[in-house]
Amino acid sequence: MTVQTERLRARIADQLGRARDRTARLADAVDDEDLTRQHSTLMSPLVWDLAHVGNQEELWLVRDVGGLTPIREDIDQLYDAFRHPRRDRPRLPLLDPTQARAYVGTVREKVLDLLDRVPLEGRALVADGFAFGMIVQHEQQHDETMLATHQLRDGEPVLQAPPPPPARVPVGGEVLVPAGPFTMGTSTEAWALDNERPAHRVDVPAFFIDAAPVTNAAYARFIAAGGYDDPRWWSEPGWRHRMTAGLSAPLHWLRDGDGWAYRRFGRIAPVRDDEPVLHVCFYEAQAYAAWVGKRLPTEAEWEKAARFDPATGRSRRYPWGDREPTAQHANLGQRHLEPAPVGAYPAGRSPLGVHQLIGDVWEWTSSDFRPYPGFAAFPYREYSEVFFGPAYKVLRGGSFGTDAAACRGTFRNWDLPIRRQIFSGFRCARDPRAGEAD
Ligand SMILES: [Fe+2]
C-alpha cells in the first residue's frame, strides 16, 4: 500500500469518526422520549435521522463497496427518504433509540473493517475514497438537519458551545466583481458531489455584491419600514406565501418591547445587530433585496465572488485559497451555535474582499437548482437529478452548523423557497449603474 493510500484511509477514518462523534452528541443531548418525538412536522424524529445515517452507510459501503451480506435489509424502506415524507415518519415502526444506536455501531464496525482492505482506486465509486466521502458528507448533512431540529424543539437548553469570535475589522458596503469569464464548479475535487461537476467556464457581467451578509440591524429596518406589509417588494408567489403563512419577521424572532429577541436552542436573547440575519426564506430575502434597490446574486455571481482570483485568473477551492478551513477562516462545524458578527473572519475573505462567504449562514441565491453543462448523475439519480428544476432555489456557502467536510467553494445546497427552519440568510447584489464598472 502506498503512503498516499495509507494517508487517504487515515483521513477517511478520521472524518467518519468526527461525523459520528457529532451525531452522538446531538442524539445523546436529549432523552429517549425526546429522540422519538417529532418536534416539528417539517422534521423527522431525531432517532429517524440516526438510523437513516446508518442505513445509507450500510447500503453504500457495507453492501455496494464491501459486497457484504445485508445487516438489516428489512428496515431499508423505513429509512428511504423518498418513500416517507418527514411528517409521516413518527408513525413508522422505527428502531427505538437503543436499537438504532446498536445498528449504526454494527454498520460502522464493518465499514472500518472493510476500509482497511478495499482498493481506493479503479471503480469510480471507490476512486479517491469517493463513496466514503459521500457517506461522511451525508452524515454531516444530517447532523446539520438534527441541529435544526434541536432549534425547533421546546424545552430547556441542552446544547452548549462557546460564543463566536468578535468582529475584528469593520466590513460594509459592496465589492465590484469585474466582468469576464471564470471557472465554475469542479472536475478535480475528489469528494465533490455530482451536482458540483464538471468545471466549466461562465462569462459573468460586472456586478456589485455586498461585502458581508445582511445583518439583523439592516433586516430589522426593513421590518420597521413596513416591508412585510408592502406587496411592492415581494414577488407574486412570495407575497402569496407571506400572506398565507402570516410572515412578519424571521423565524424564532420575538417582539421584545420596541426591539427584537430570538430563541436559540432554548435560550432567549436580544437580537444582535451586527450578526447575519438567520432563518429567513427565499421570498423574505428577495423582498428585502428589492426594498434596498438590489437583488439576490445568481449562483454564478456568488461563486465568482467567492472563488475568482483576479491576480491569477483561476478559481480557488475556498475564498481564502486552497487550504482546508480552520477556525480562523470561517464559522463552521457547530463550533459555535450562532453566526459570528460581520467582520469576525478577515482571514477568510475572498481575493476581491468579500467576507464570510463560507460559514455563518447559508446564502440564498436567485438561481433555480439546475445541472451544469455536462452533468452526469452519480452515483444515483436521487442524489441531485430528481431535484433539478424551478421548484428549488440554490443556497451557497454553508452555515455555522455545516461541517467543513460538506462545505467548499463549489458546494451547492438547495431547498424550497418557503423554507426557513434551515440556517439560511443572504447577501444582496446589483448591476452597476452607468459608468460605475468602467
Ligand atoms: Fe439522507
Q: How much distance in Å is there from the Cα of 116 to the middle of ligand 1?
A: 25
Residue range 160-438 forms a domain whose CATH class is: alpha beta
Which portions of the chain are predicted below pLDDT 50? none
- pLDDT of the residue at 340: 98
pLDDT of residue 90: 87
Give me the phi and psi of 237, to 5 degrees please: -65, -30
> What distance in Å separates the CA atoms of residue 99 and residue 54, rounded to the nearest whole number?
11
pLDDT tens, position by position, 263-315: 999 999 999 999 999 999 999 999 999 999 999 999 999 999 999 999 999 99
State the distance from the centre of ligand 1 to the C-alpha of 30, rounded, in angstroms.
21
Between the CA of 52 and the centroid of ligand 1 the distance, in Å, is 7
H or E stretch covering 367: strand 362-369
CA 380 / ligand 1 centre spacing (Å): 13
Domain boundaries, the chain: 3-152, 160-438
Report how far residue 298's alpha carbon sits from residue 429's, in angstroms, rounded to the nearest whole number: 9
Separation of 260 CA from ligand 1 center, angstroms? 35
pTM of this structure = 0.97
Q: Distance from the CA of 81 to the center of ligand 1, in angstroms?
A: 7
Phi (first) and psi of residue 43, to 5 degrees: -125, 160
Nearest to 44, CA basis, from 62, 70, 26, 17: 26
What CATH number is given for 3-152 in this structure?
A: 1.20.120
Contact 321, 389 (CB under 8 A): no
Predicted local confidence at residue 309, as pLDDT? 98
Cα 273 → chain centroid: 23
> Distance, CA 224 to ligand 1 centroid (Å)?
39
Which residues on adjacent β-strands are paired with residue 201? Answer: 183
State the pairing for strand pair 200-204/207-210: unpaired
The pLDDT value recorded for residue 1 is: 65
Q: Which residues contribute to the annotated binding site?
A: 52, 86-89, 138, 142, 415, 419
